[in-house]
Chains A and B, each alone.
Chain A
Amino acid sequence: MAQDNVIAADALQMEREWKLPDRGTIGVIFLIITETALFTMFVAADLIYIGKSLTGPYPKDVLEMPIIATVCLLSSSGTIVFAEHALRRNDLGKFKIWWLVTILLGLYFLYATGAEWHKLIYEDHLTIATNLFGTTFYSLVGLHASHVVVGMTFLLIVFITTIFGFPIQTQERRVKFLSWYWHFFDWVWVIVFTVVYILPLKVF
Chain B
Amino acid sequence: MASIDYPLEHPKAEALTPEFSFSESLYKWVATVDHKRLGLMYVVSALVFLVIAGIMASVIRMQLAFPLNHVVGPDTFNRLFTMHGTTMVFLVGMPMVAGFSVYLIPLMIGTRDMAFPRLNAFGFWIFLLGGCLLYFSYIGGGGLSGDGSAPDVGWFAYAPLTEKAFSRGAATDYWALGVLLSGVGSIVTALNVIATTFCMRCPGMTLSRMPMFVWVMLIDAWLVLVALPPLSAAQIMLELDRHLGANFFDTQAGGSAVLWQHLFWIFGHPEVYILIFPAFAILSEVIPVFSRKPLFGRPAMVGAVTAIGFISLGVWAHHMFAIGMTSWSNTFFAASSMLVGVPTGIKIFNWTATMYGGKLRMQTPLLFCIAFLLQFLVAGLTGIMLAVAPFDWQLHDSYFVVAHFHFTLVGGLVFGLFAGMYYWFPKVSGKMLDEKLGKWHFWLFCIGFNMTFLTLHFAGFLGMPRRIYTYYPGRGWDAINLIASLGVIPQAAGILCFVWNIIRSSLRGIPAGDDPWDAWTLEWATTSPPPEYNFEKLPVVRSSRPLWDLKHPQDPDWKYE
Identify A132's interface contact among B190, B234, B247, CB under 8 A.
Answer: B247
A38 within 8 A of B: yes
Q: Are B256 and A42 in contact (CB under 8 A)?
A: no
Report if A15-B540 is in contact (Cβ < 8 Å); known contacts: A4-B4, A27-B115, A41-B263: yes
Report if A26-B195 is in contact (Cβ < 8 Å); known contacts: A129-B247, A135-B248: yes
Proximity string of chain A (21-45) to chain B, C-beta cutoff 8 Å, 1 when within and 0 when not: 1110011001101110110111001
B191 within 8 A of A: yes
Beta-carbon contacts under 8 Å, B451-476 to A: none
Beta-carbon contacts under 8 Å, B220-268 to A: 225-230, 232-234, 236-237, 240, 244-248, 253-256, 259, 263, 266
Proximity string of chain B (28-58) to chain A, C-beta cutoff 8 Å, 1 when within and 0 when not: 0000000000000000000000000000000
Residues of B within 8 A of A53 (CB): 254
Identify A135's interface contact among B190, B198, B234, B247, CB under 8 A.
Answer: B247
B201 within 8 A of A: yes
Q: Are A20 and B229 in contact (CB under 8 A)?
A: no
Q: Are A41 and B191 in contact (CB under 8 A)?
A: no
A179 within 8 A of B: no
Identify B246's interface contact among A1, A48, A139, CB under 8 A.
Answer: A139
Residues of A within 8 A of B540 (CB): 11, 14-15
Q: Are A4 and B1 in contact (CB under 8 A)?
A: yes
By DSSP majority rule, is chain B's interface helix, strand, loop, or mixed? helix
Assembled-state Cα–Cα distance A8/B6 (Å): 11
In the assembled complex, how far is the CB of residue B544 from the closest CB belonging to chain A, in whole angstroms? Answer: 15
Residues of B within 8 A of A20 (CB): 198-201
Residues of B within 8 A of A42 (CB): 233, 237
Q: Are A132 and B230 in contact (CB under 8 A)?
A: no
Report if A34-B187 is in contact (Cβ < 8 Å); known contacts: A14-B204, A42-B233, A45-B259: yes
Identify A21's interface contact among B187, B199, B229, B253, CB under 8 A.
Answer: B199
Beta-carbon contacts under 8 Å, A111-165 to B: 127-129, 131-132, 134-135, 138-139
Report if A41-B229 is in contact (Cβ < 8 Å); known contacts: A4-B1, A11-B540, A20-B201: yes
Q: Are A139 and B198 in contact (CB under 8 A)?
A: no
Assembled-state Cα–Cα distance A128/B236 (Å): 14
In the assembled complex, how far is the CB of residue B87 from the closest CB belonging to chain A, in whole angstroms? Answer: 24
Residues of A within 8 A of B5 (CB): 7, 11
Identify A48's interface contact among B191, B230, B234, B256, CB under 8 A.
Answer: B256
Identify A18's interface contact among B204, B228, B237, CB under 8 A.
Answer: B204
Q: Are A45 and B199 in contact (CB under 8 A)?
A: no
Beta-carbon contacts under 8 Å, B434-493 to A: none
Interface residues in B, total, Cβ within 8 A: 43
A203 within 8 A of B: no
Assembled-state Cα–Cα distance A22/B116 (Å): 12
Q: Are B191 and A132 in contact (CB under 8 A)?
A: no
Residues of A within 8 A of B233 (CB): 38, 41-42, 45
B390 within 8 A of A: no
In the assembled complex, how far is the CB of residue A128 from the closest CB belonging to chain B, in whole angstroms? Answer: 5
With both beta carbons as reference points, the residue of chain B lying nearest to A17 in the complex is identified as B203
A54 within 8 A of B: yes
B370 within 8 A of A: no
Q: Are A37 and B253 in contact (CB under 8 A)?
A: no
Q: Are B200 and A132 in contact (CB under 8 A)?
A: no
Identify B199's interface contact among A7, A26, A31, A54, CB under 8 A.
Answer: A26
Report if A139-B240 is in contact (Cβ < 8 Å); known contacts: A21-B198, A27-B115, A131-B253: yes
A89 within 8 A of B: no
Q: Are A54 and B253 in contact (CB under 8 A)?
A: yes
Report if A54-B254 is in contact (Cβ < 8 Å); known contacts: A15-B540, A21-B198, A128-B244: yes
A52 within 8 A of B: yes
Residues of A within 8 A of B355 (CB): none
Residues of A within 8 A of B199 (CB): 20-23, 26
Assembled-state Cα–Cα distance A172/B523 (Å): 36
Residues of A within 8 A of B98 (CB): none
Tell which of B204, B225, B230, B254 has the most Cβ of chain A within 10 Å. B254
Report if A38-B253 is in contact (Cβ < 8 Å); known contacts: A128-B245, A128-B246, A131-B247: no
B194 within 8 A of A: yes
Q: Are A34 and B229 in contact (CB under 8 A)?
A: yes
Q: Are A48 and B259 in contact (CB under 8 A)?
A: yes
Assembled-state Cα–Cα distance A48/B203 (Å): 50
Report if A52-B254 is in contact (Cβ < 8 Å); known contacts: A15-B540, A139-B246: yes
With both beta carbons as reference points, the residue of chain A lying nearest to B193 in the complex is identified as A30
Report if A129-B4 is in contact (Cβ < 8 Å); known contacts: A37-B226, A37-B229, A41-B229: no
Q: Are A34 and B226 in contact (CB under 8 A)?
A: yes
In the assembled complex, how far is the CB of residue B202 from the closest CB belonging to chain A, in whole angstroms? Answer: 8
Residues of A within 8 A of B226 (CB): 33-34, 37
Residues of A within 8 A of B190 (CB): 34
Beta-carbon contacts under 8 Å, A33-78 to B: 33-35, 37-38, 40-42, 45, 48-49, 52-54
In the assembled complex, how far is the CB of residue B262 from the closest CB belonging to chain A, in whole angstroms? Answer: 8
Report if A34-B240 is in contact (Cβ < 8 Å); known contacts: A23-B200, A41-B229, A135-B247: no
The 6 closest A-B pairs by CB, nearest first: A129-B245, A41-B233, A38-B229, A37-B229, A18-B203, A23-B199
Known: A139-B236, A139-B246. 11 other contacts (CB 8 A): A7-B5, A14-B203, A15-B540, A23-B200, A37-B225, A37-B226, A37-B229, A38-B229, A41-B266, A127-B245, A135-B246
Pick 19 A–B contacts, CB within 8 A, sort by A.
Answer: A3-B1, A7-B2, A11-B540, A15-B540, A26-B198, A37-B227, A38-B233, A41-B229, A45-B263, A54-B253, A127-B245, A128-B246, A132-B247, A132-B255, A134-B246, A135-B246, A135-B247, A139-B237, A139-B246
Interface residues of A (CB under 8 A from B): 1, 3-4, 7-8, 11, 14-15, 18, 20-23, 26-27, 30-31, 33-35, 37-38, 40-42, 45, 48-49, 52-54, 127-129, 131-132, 134-135, 138-139
Interface residues of B (CB under 8 A from A): 1-2, 4-5, 115-116, 187, 190-191, 194-196, 198-201, 203-204, 225-230, 232-234, 236-237, 240, 244-248, 253-256, 259, 263, 266, 540
